[in-house]
Chain A
């Protein structure tokens, strides 16, 4: 299956080709994804929706290079990411905002971001300044920017996690329930940031969400059901 919105001339940045993921535990096998085919383009924002247990997180793990498929492939700009190396793919081309945020608790908000920028090799910017700008843009005040992330509220931590993903200047940004812990105003602001990232900066933004608002704001909504991905 390919994205119906893909025009024949546009080049997909990310392709899922015959992607399957089966979990085996002892003698029991559980197929979470089966022969998923889809293409994502740069400059667009996607929402992946589906009921709990439908395999959204597994799809995100495979597409972001955190896990390997049982069968099929994930291709970035036509190159199989398994051949590229999952570590390199994660390092150079994708950033992920996890549902559980996954911040480093012994670092401040700014340090979390500058550290990620150093790991992903962001060059040409003053890292600390960039981190402060992004945190400010997402509504984290100056005092909180220099606090350990463990001392921040859930909403503030979510902002830091998003700022960290934005700071890495990657081609594809994944986010798992990125507005889950945020109030409506902040959530709206963040959705706007994602949209701008897609439309102004040409990034591919793929959001896994249950939120109708997020889905409505997306350029394309895909539904995951019984291991298959379908465009709505």
Chain B
């Protein structure tokens, strides 16, 4: 093979060092931006995979009030009273326990809302008493959530609350187990193993409310991460007055007996082993007897989206940048090379007069541009990790900030499943968006930017290089003579 074109390319690159450096510099900027884009995309993809593994995909089953109304399964109105949800709207624990056994469920939890009235033995923690003359509004209760697994409760999963003694509620815990907050334990001189009495609220057939002492055993004491408020708040809203009981315990606090159905739940969550298993879970739920129109299973990928939302937006921006830079780079380089070719008309004419083939002239140009591209790719590979880390972190911090603002707004929206229009407080742990990028430069990234860089070089050379094929050496060499 005649290597002359390579030699000529090398001699020209050395002979016009200023132009060579300029071309390398231009390529360096293009390749660095493109490579940074690729690295940010890869980091985002890794983060998304990791997030998927860490949070899993949670399917939530809860009453769809609208579906119940539309299905005409509400209790009929009595007199002037509105309709009641009734038995058709009850999500029974026995049903959920069956669904929990599905092979696609990695983790299962459910909650049952409830309250417990204080007794002489167990009083509410009230750091700031109610102002004189202000009624508590009928909320002088402990908030008693019936749960299957304490570790799956939002505050415990995200670390806001921690057990300080004893153990948490588990699926196999004794039905009378209660976990209390340390401030309540301290005020009432309680410790793990103590037998306590809490008052269940009983709705009598005539509509009157009465209380009934119910026995519990303190199985664990936890510490809430939320400090006492500086001013009066209703006791039931104070974090210290949050207690946890088993679902059976919550049923007893409703003044009911624990039946074969295990009581009625507010909602159940199923963490799937694989995000693609939702259809299988629905099938298993139907088989267990669930009416999925009234108790739909919806995938709660809020955590996943919260985690990866900002980083994915950053990756989208990086992707756009890659395209814009690649296209703009090709155009700019093509213009630079076209301008170079105009300057090099005489050189091309001389080589043509010697009988050099036109494709080889184009080849020489290509070799020159490719050499510049390869050098630039090398420099970009050396500098891109640092640069893309800096750019990525900067872009990501902006996206995280926006996501946090959006999340704050979202948290204030009412819970669609709550007929009282309460705030949205799904039993899913709060997660913070991924706020740092793990940028790693791999051979694959270099190969991608190499292919892009060389593609740009080829396009930017060949398109204006078509002019070479139309050159006539006589016109070039004798012009002006």
Q: What's the Cα separation between A121 and B346 when bound, in Å?
A: 22
Asked whether A115 is an interface residue with its Cβ less than 8 Å from the other chain, the reply is yes
Stretch at the interface among B1-9, B41-49, B185-193: B1-9
Contacts of A83-128 to chain B: CB distance below 8 A: 87-92, 95-96, 98-100, 102-107, 111, 115-116, 118-121
Given A66-B474, A87-B357, A119 and B11 contact (CB-CB distance below 8 Å): no
A90 and B354: CB pair below 8 A?
yes
A91 and B481: CB pair below 8 A?
no
Asked whether A199 is an interface residue with its Cβ less than 8 Å from the other chain, the reply is no
Given A57-B478, A61-B478, A102-B353, A66 and B347 contact (CB-CB distance below 8 Å): no
Checking B12, B16, B355, B477 against A98 with a beta-carbon cut-off of 8 angstroms, the contacting residue is B477
Per-residue B-contact encoding for A34-72, CB less than 8 Å = 1, 0 else: 000000000000000000000001000100101100000
Report the minimum CB–CB distance from A82 to chain B (whole Å): 14
Asked whether A223 is an interface residue with its Cβ less than 8 Å from the other chain, the reply is no
Residues of A within 8 A of B349 (CB): 102
Most buried by A among B15, B353, B481: B353
> For this complex, into which size category does the number of interface residues on chain B fall?
20 to 34
Q: What's the Cα separation between A95 and B355 when bound, in Å?
A: 9
Checking A57, A66, A107, A120 against B11 with a beta-carbon cut-off of 8 angstroms, the contacting residue is A107
A115 and B355: CB pair below 8 A?
no
Given A66-B477, A67-B474, A107-B11, A119 and B350 contact (CB-CB distance below 8 Å): no
Asked whether B472 is an interface residue with its Cβ less than 8 Å from the other chain, the reply is yes
Asked whether B473 is an interface residue with its Cβ less than 8 Å from the other chain, the reply is yes
Asked whether A148 is an interface residue with its Cβ less than 8 Å from the other chain, the reply is yes
- Summed over the interface, the residue pairs from A and B with CB atoms below 8 Å come to a total of 76
Q: What's the Cα separation between A67 and B474 when bound, in Å?
A: 6
Report the minimum CB–CB distance from A209 to chain B (whole Å): 15
Q: What's the Cα separation between A120 and B3 when bound, in Å?
A: 13
**Chain B, interface SS category:** helix
Checking A92, A95, A96, A118 against B4 with a beta-carbon cut-off of 8 angstroms, the contacting residue is A118
A119 and B347: CB pair below 8 A?
no
Asked whether B352 is an interface residue with its Cβ less than 8 Å from the other chain, the reply is yes
B477 and A115: CB pair below 8 A?
no
> For this complex, into which size category does the number of interface residues on chain A fall?
20 to 34
Q: What's the Cα separation between A207 and B3 when bound, in Å?
A: 32
B353 and A96: CB pair below 8 A?
yes
Checking B8, B355, B472 against A90 with a beta-carbon cut-off of 8 angstroms, the contacting residue is B355
Asked whether B75 is an interface residue with its Cβ less than 8 Å from the other chain, the reply is no
Q: What's the Cα separation between A88 and B16 when bound, in Å?
A: 30
By beta carbon, the residue of chain A nearest B357 is: A87
B15 and A106: CB pair below 8 A?
yes
Given A115-B7, A118-B2, A100 and B481 contact (CB-CB distance below 8 Å): yes
Asked whether B88 is an interface residue with its Cβ less than 8 Å from the other chain, the reply is no
Per-residue A-contact encoding for B1-38, CB less than 8 Å = 1, 0 else: 01110011001101110000000000000000000000
Q: What's the Cα separation between A90 and B353 when bound, in Å?
A: 7
Given A66-B353, A90-B355, A111-B11, A119 and B472 contact (CB-CB distance below 8 Å): no
Q: What's the Cα separation between A103 and B244 when bound, in Å?
A: 93
B481 and A115: CB pair below 8 A?
no
Report the minimum CB–CB distance from A48 to chain B (whole Å): 15
B350 and A104: CB pair below 8 A?
yes
Checking A67, A105, A120, A148 against B354 with a beta-carbon cut-off of 8 angstroms, the contacting residue is A120
By beta carbon, the residue of chain A nearest B346 is: A102
A57 and B481: CB pair below 8 A?
yes
Q: What's the Cα separation between A100 and B358 when bound, in Å?
A: 22
Residues of B within 8 A of A105 (CB): 15, 347
Contacts of B418-450 to chain A: CB distance below 8 A: none
By beta carbon, the residue of chain A nearest B479 is: A100
Per-residue A-contact encoding for B332-366, CB less than 8 Å = 1, 0 else: 00000000000000110111111111100000000
Q: What's the Cα separation between A68 and B356 when bound, in Å?
A: 17
A148 and B478: CB pair below 8 A?
no
Checking A91, A96, A99, A106 against B12 with a beta-carbon cut-off of 8 angstroms, the contacting residue is A106
List, sorted by A's number, 18 A–B pairs whose CB atoms are closer than 8 Å: A61-B478, A66-B474, A66-B477, A67-B474, A87-B356, A87-B358, A91-B355, A96-B353, A98-B477, A99-B481, A102-B477, A115-B7, A118-B3, A118-B7, A119-B355, A119-B356, A120-B354, A121-B2
Chain B residues with CB under 8 Å of chain A are 2-4, 7-8, 11-12, 14-16, 346-347, 349-358, 472-474, 477-478, 481
Chain A residues with CB under 8 Å of chain B are 57, 61, 64, 66-67, 87-92, 95-96, 98-100, 102-107, 111, 115-116, 118-121, 148, 168
